[in-house]
């Protein structure tokens, strides 16, 4: 289970609500990183052999291995392309994002 | 301890950091946290990692973490380990993370004190070979010949990038006779995680120096991070070694080194290098390896 965006987060409205010092939670994700991406990785599950190289090398840890097929959390994938470059079966292709 | 990727937790304890795409540092930290688990208290110094994991109001570490001043990682974790001992918490690991500048330059005296006192902590230095967070200034871990903004290159050849060989942190820390000291690379994750697992089970100061390539500072496409990390080891410009019980062990000793050009030439920071510069770098590498092999054999 990957962490996910904290949708309930609201920015503090006055100084009493400000987070200072040791205040505040650990692991509070208030924004996604998906807007950074130019190319998105797409896994061809027919070719995937679950060697988990992509899972290990992913800098952001967005590849999930809990399901029968590997999953990608596109909210936090930055599209660096390491997974596609390191895949021994070329099962991951980088596809241009379109808006 | 043998590491099997299948058995590792899918839980991420570092997530959503604002590092550049393809950064090596979060690979090292998330893999280390997979081994150390959720009962880890982290201290990060001023570095790329410190800046990108705590972009107000976002916090990307899912374990307790503190940000320390630049020279103070080692002294902060020493204090944390003392506090944990006082409170009798036995299942907690204290982890300090600093970059190469925060370890080899600015944080060196605190690190030396930490090793000398032998406080019960793990210190990870992720080495991207310059001060990347402030915009690629040279550090004492910058390799010979590398361009940075403070070791410039000009066309007449009077400025040729970094002119000194890099500081050898592995030797410095192992000279303190710490229980455990190792070098690793993000391109060899199994080796790195085995070293972290070994460090977790030992008492005293454990130091792991992990090579973490930086696409922005080194000048290569973001998908090549793992490839260049691997090439650094295959060309002999980085090595995987361990120091334990007074003995140095080489984890990977290539019989024949790949030519250094294959690693250096494609990077923007080395593109001014000529044939004779590669010769100099090869000579430095061979001298370094002769020393290392002598140490490993004794």
Residue B163, phi then psi, degrees to nearest 5:
-105, -10
- Written as six digits, the tokens of B250 are 């080489």
The distance of A30 to chain B (nearest Cα, Å) reads 5
Q: Report residues of chain B scoring pLDDT below 70.
A: 1
Quick check: A2 and B15 CB within 8 A? yes
Residue A21: the pLDDT is 61
Q: Using DSSP bridges, classify how beta strands B40-45 and B65-68 pair: parallel, antiparallel or unpaired.
A: parallel
Contacts of A84 in chain B (CB under 8 A): 223
Q: What is the DSSP string of B90-133?
A: -S-EEEEEEEHIIIIITTHHHHHHHHHHT-SEEEEEEE-SSBTT
Task: Tell me if B16 and A29 make a contact (CB, 8 A cut-off).
Answer: yes
Any chain A CB within 8 A of the CB of B64? Answer: yes
Domain boundaries, chain B: 8-297
Closest residue, chain A, to B53 (C-alpha): A27
For chain A, the domains span 32-96
- CA-based nearest residue to B212, from B124, B109, B122: B124
Asked whether A1 and A27 are in contact (CB, 8 A), the reply is no
Rg of the Cα trace of chain B?
A: 18
Contacts of A49 in chain B (CB under 8 A): none
Residues B124-179 pLDDT 10s: 999 999 999 999 999 999 999 999 999 999 988 888 899 999 999 999 999 999 99
Asked whether B124 and B193 are in contact (CB, 8 A), the reply is no
Contact of B44 with B50, CB cutoff 8 Å: yes
Q: Name the residue facing A28 among B11, B12, B58 (closest C-beta).
A: B58
Partners of A64 on chain B (C-beta within 8 Å) are: 10
B interface test, pick of A33, A60, A67 with most B CB neighbours within 10 Å = A60
Long-range contacts of B1-5 (CB under 8 A, 24+ apart): B1/B194, B1/B197, B1/B198, B2/B194, B3/B35, B3/B190, B3/B193, B3/B194, B3/B197, B5/A51, B5/A52, B5/A55, B5/A56
In the A/B pair of chains, how many CB contacts fall below 8 A?
A: 108
User: Binning pLDDT at 50, 70 and 90, where does residue A28 land?
Assistant: confident
Contact A55 B5 (CB under 8 A): yes
Which of B177, B208, B247, B191 lies closest to B93, judged by CA? B208
Nearest to B25 by CA among B49, B51, B61: B49
pLDDT at A23 over 70: no
Q: Which CATH number fits domain B8-297: 1.10.1200.10, 3.90.550.10, 3.40.50.970, 1.10.10.10?
A: 3.40.50.970
Contact status of B52 with chain A (Cβ, < 8 Å)? no
Please tell me the predicted confidence (pLDDT) of residue B174.
Answer: 94
How many angstroms separate the CA of residue B38 from the nearest CA in chain A? 12
Distance from B37 to chain A by nearest Cα, in Å?
Answer: 15
Read out DSSP for chain A? Answer: ------TT----SSGGG---TT-S-SSB--S-SGGG-SEEEEE-TTT-----HHHHH-TT--EE-SSSS-EE-TTT-----HHHHH-TT--EEEEE---
CATH class name, domain A32-96: alpha beta
Q: Look at residue A14 in the predicted model and tell me its pLDDT.
A: 86
Tokens 């066309």: give the residue. Answer: B155
Contact B226 A76 (CB under 8 A): no
Q: Which residues lie closer than 8 Å to B64 by C-beta, 6 or more apart?
A: A26, B40, B41, B42
pLDDT average, residue stretch A21-47: 86
Concatenated DSSP letters for B33-79? HHHH-SSEEEEEESSHHHHHH--TT-B-BSS-EEEE-GGGHHHHHHH
Chain A residues inside the 8 Å CB shell of B16: 3, 29, 31-33, 60, 76
> Which of A29, A51, A80 has the CB atom closest to B22's CB atom?
A80
| Cα–Cα distance list, B191 to A19, B199, B239 (Å) | 39, 12, 12
Contact A72, A43 (CB under 8 A): yes
**Which residue in the block uniquely carries the two structure tokens 């990038």?**
B161
- What pLDDT shows up at residue A54? 94
The continuous run of DSSP H or E covering B212 comes out as: none
Is the Cβ pair A2, B24 closer than 8 Å? no
């Amino acid at each position: 289970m990957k962490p996910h965006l904290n949708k309930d987060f609201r920015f503090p409205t006055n100084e009493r609500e400000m987070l200072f010092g040791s205040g505040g939670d650990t692991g509070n994700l208030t924004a996604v990183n998906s807007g950074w991406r130019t190319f998105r990785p797409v896994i061809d599950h027919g070719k995937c052999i679950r060697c988990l190289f992509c899972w290990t090398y992913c800098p952001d840890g967005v590849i999930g291995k809990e399901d029968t097929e590997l999953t990608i959390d596109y909210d936090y994938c930055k599209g660096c392309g390491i997974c596609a470059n390191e895949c021994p079966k070329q099962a991951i292709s980088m596809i241009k994002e379109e808006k | 301890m043998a590491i099997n990727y299948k058995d590792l937790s899918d839980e991420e304890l570092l997530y959503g950091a604002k590092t550049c795409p393809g950064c090596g540092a979060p690979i090292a930290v998330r893999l280390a946290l997979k081994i150390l688990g959720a009962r880890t208290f982290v201290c990060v110094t001023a570095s790329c990692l410190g800046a990108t994991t705590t972009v107000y109001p976002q916090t990307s570490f899912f374990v307790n973490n503190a940000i320390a001043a630049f020279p103070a990682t080692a002294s902060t974790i020493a204090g944390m380990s003392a506090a944990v001992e006082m409170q009798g918490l036995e299942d907690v690991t204290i982890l300090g993370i600093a970059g190469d500048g925060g370890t080899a330059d600015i944080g060196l005296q605190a690190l030396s004190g930490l090793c000398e006192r032998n406080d019960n902590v793990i210190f990870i230095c992720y080495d991207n070979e310059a001060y990347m967070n402030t915009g690629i200034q040279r550090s004492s871990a910058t390799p010979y010949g590398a361009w940075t903004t403070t070791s410039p290159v000009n066309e007449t050849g009077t400025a040729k990038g970094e002119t000194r060989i890099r500081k050898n942190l592995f030797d410095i820390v192992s000279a303190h006779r710490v229980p455990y000291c190792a070098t690793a690379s993000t391109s060899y994750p199994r080796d790195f995680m085995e070293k972290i697992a070994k460090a977790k089970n030992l008492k005293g100061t454990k130091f792991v120096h992990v090579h973490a390539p930086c696409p922005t500072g080194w000048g290569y496409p973001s998908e090549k991070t793992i490839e260049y990390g691997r090439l650094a080891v295959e060309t002999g410009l980085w090595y995987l070694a361990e120091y334990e019980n007074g003995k140095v062990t080489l984890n990977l000793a290539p019989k024949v080194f790949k030519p250094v050009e294959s690693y250096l030439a494609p990077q923007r920071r080395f593109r001014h290098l000529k044939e004779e510069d590669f010769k100099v770098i090869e000579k430095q590498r061979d001298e370094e390896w002769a020393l290392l092999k002598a140490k490993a054999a004794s």
